[in-house]
Structure 1
Amino acid sequence: MTGKWIGAFLLCVLFSLLCVYLAGWQMDRKEAMDYTNSRIAENYEAAPETFAEAGGNFERMDPDLQWQPVEMTGSYHPEDEALVRNRPHNGQVGFEVLVPFTTEEGQTVILDRGWMPTGDNNTAPAQEVPAPPEGTVTVTARLHAPEDSTGRQSPDGQLPSIDLTDYAQRLDYPVQQGAYGIMASEDPSPAQTPQALAAPEQDAGPNLSYSLQWYAFAVLIYVAYGWCARQKVRNDRLDAQLAAELEEYYGAFYDEQGRYIGEDDEAVVRRRMEMIDDMPRHMKAIVRPKPARKRRGVTDEEAEDADLDALAEAEAPRRSR
């Protein structure tokens, strides 16, 4: 085995290791998505917990309680309402409405009351945002982790993302920044509310198939290497056969002392020999001997023709008599 083939094999090893790594990475993503789906399935329609039981998650979010409903009683701060820009909903872009809510326990959390479509200029909602209920309200909201800062600026009263740290800096009182609540219900229920946000999708995604594909590539690279090596051995054998045949053919033009004894012009013969020697490797396949094909079985047509020939040969002597 030459250094070229050893190097090619080492490249195959490196490629297969990379494929195995990428397959594992895709499998990790699948497991993360499975975990998210399990949290949705277990928590989204779960019975609401009280603020005393789960309210601490608004300060420090437990990932296992994502989408868990929490029931709390308190009052809104409508004067500090904020609109989150560029929020998709049912194929449209609009705003999500955030309002601070102070519970009876004295802690202020941020609630997402729903979605509003944009107007013609995309800088404000298409209609006036419905006000939250006044006075004491009992709400049920689902826990959700905050978003990261986008680093973008936004007009007064608007936010580029649900970054609770950014929102808290715009308020004159402290708010919990570990999580916010997505509105599920309000009591008393107002006559008009923003559109409720859709339930999260449980999508398995293509990560499992991608992982299996990478594992397949890790195996197929060795299959390809083996096929190329087999072709190299076969071609070398045929090249040796070609060289022997050419040597035998052109050897007939010279005697043992090297004198030309052919009938054609020697210059023409030498040129033919040089053409074979100078021929690129990929062109030598044209003159390379073809492997003998295995004879296929006799077809019905061939058997019938053989029977007719035998019958004709048997009748020929009779006709000659």
Structure 2
Amino acid sequence: MPTRFVFRFIPFCATLVVAAAGIALGQWQTHRAEEKLALQQRMQARGSAAPLNGLPLDASDAEFRPIRLRGHYLAQWTLYLENRPYNGAVGFHVLTLFQPEGSAQAVVVARGWAPRDAADRTRVPQVPPPSGMTEVEGILRKDAGHVMQLGTADAPRPQAILQNLDLSALAAASGLSIAPLVIEQSGAAGDTLVRDWPAPSLGIDRHRGYAVQWYALAAMALLFFIVTGFKRGRHDKA
């Protein structure tokens, strides 16, 4: 019996829905990969620029720019972000407010990572910042990073252990005007803090991989409809 294709309306409609969904989702993932690639290129361009010598007026265009400031630390406003592991060890990111010379705004400096005391989880690392006029250099970031928040966030207070940093809440608690940016400190500072900051995870390859999977789903739906249509045709009488 000759093989022929039998068109079936309902399977055809289902195939169109699956194929359209696969193509749409594949295009969305491709678009996300292109956005992340453009962000990566901006990061590289900004990272290679000359360091800023003052807090930027436009925070939206300043992330990933290097910066170098003179000023003094407000040591009482040191905070500890918990659940920040490093090389498998549990620890904190140590943050301290910094008042740049000649600026009306303070800025949070992420000074580095320190291990947590396994015997006493309420004990914080005693790594005081330099006193007096000093210089800070690092990379500007829009925030200090986020982890899953368990329960209600505590209000910032001197020497507090927090899960995440809310800059507006810190400004309200300290009574200071605080820049909407964080400096990830780089270089040696004569202390024991680790300044090996994790690179931003853009996930470009992940988005591309998801796009391939969605396009493959669309192609498989079309192929399945065609193949099953021919198989059905073998059993139909001419």
Fold shared by both chains (TM-score > 0.5): yes
CA contact (8 A) 2:140 2:183 kept: yes
Which of 112, 120, 129 is equivalent to 2:110? 112
Higher RCO (CA 8 Å, separation ≥ 6 residues): 2
Which of 178, 183, 186 is equivalent to 1:184? 186
CA RMSD of aligned residues (A): 2.6
Runs of 5+ in structure 1 lacking a partner? 241-321
Aligned in 2, Cα 1:99/1:41: closer, same or farther, shift over 3 Å? same
Tell me which residue corresponds to 1:18: 21
Paired letter, 2:128: A
Indicate the SS of the match to 2:136: strand
Which of 171, 174, 178 is equivalent to 2:177? 174
Aligned mates of 1:121, 1:31 — CA distance in 2: 47
- Confirm whether residue 139 of structure 1 aligns to residue 136 of structure 2: yes
CA contact (8 A) 1:27 1:211 kept: yes
Paired letter, 1:56: P
CA contact (8 A) 2:187 2:195 kept: no
- Confirm whether residue 68 of structure 1 aligns to residue 65 of structure 2: yes
Tell me which residue corresponds to 1:44: 47
Aligned in 2, Cα 1:39/1:123: closer, same or farther, shift over 3 Å? farther
Aligned in 2, Cα 1:233/1:179: closer, same or farther, shift over 3 Å? same
Indicate the SS of the match to 1:89: coil
Shift of 1:232: 0.9
TM-score w.r.t. length of structure 1? 0.63
Aligned mates of 2:130, 2:198 — CA distance in 1: 24
Tell me which residue corresponds to 2:226: 226
- Confirm whether residue 96 of structure 1 aligns to residue 93 of structure 2: yes
Indicate the SS of the match to 2:90: strand
Shift of 1:172: 2.9
Paired letter, 2:101: E
Indicate the SS of the match to 1:133: coil
CA contact (8 A) 1:72 1:140 kept: yes
Aligned mates of 2:74, 2:62 — CA distance in 1: 26
Greater share of helix: 1
Aligned mates of 1:35, 1:93 — CA distance in 2: 34
Indicate the SS of the match to 2:56: helix
Tell me which residue corresponds to 2:4: none
Tell me which residue corresponds to 2:195: 196
Identity of aligned residues (%): 23
Runs of 5+ in structure 2 lacking a partner? 1-6
Aligned mates of 1:104, 1:158 — CA distance in 2: 28
Counterparts in 2 of 1:1-321, with a 5 A limit?
A: 5-51=8-54, 55-56=55-56, 60-62=58-60, 64-106=61-103, 107-121=105-119, 123-124=121-122, 128-146=125-143, 147=145, 150=149, 152-154=152-154, 157-176=160-179, 178-185=180-187, 189=189, 191-200=190-199, 204-237=204-237
Aligned mates of 1:87, 1:39 — CA distance in 2: 27
Aligned mates of 1:199, 1:46 — CA distance in 2: 20
Over alpha carbons, which structure has the higher Rg?
1
Count matched residues.
224
TM-score w.r.t. length of structure 2? 0.83
Greater share of strand: 2
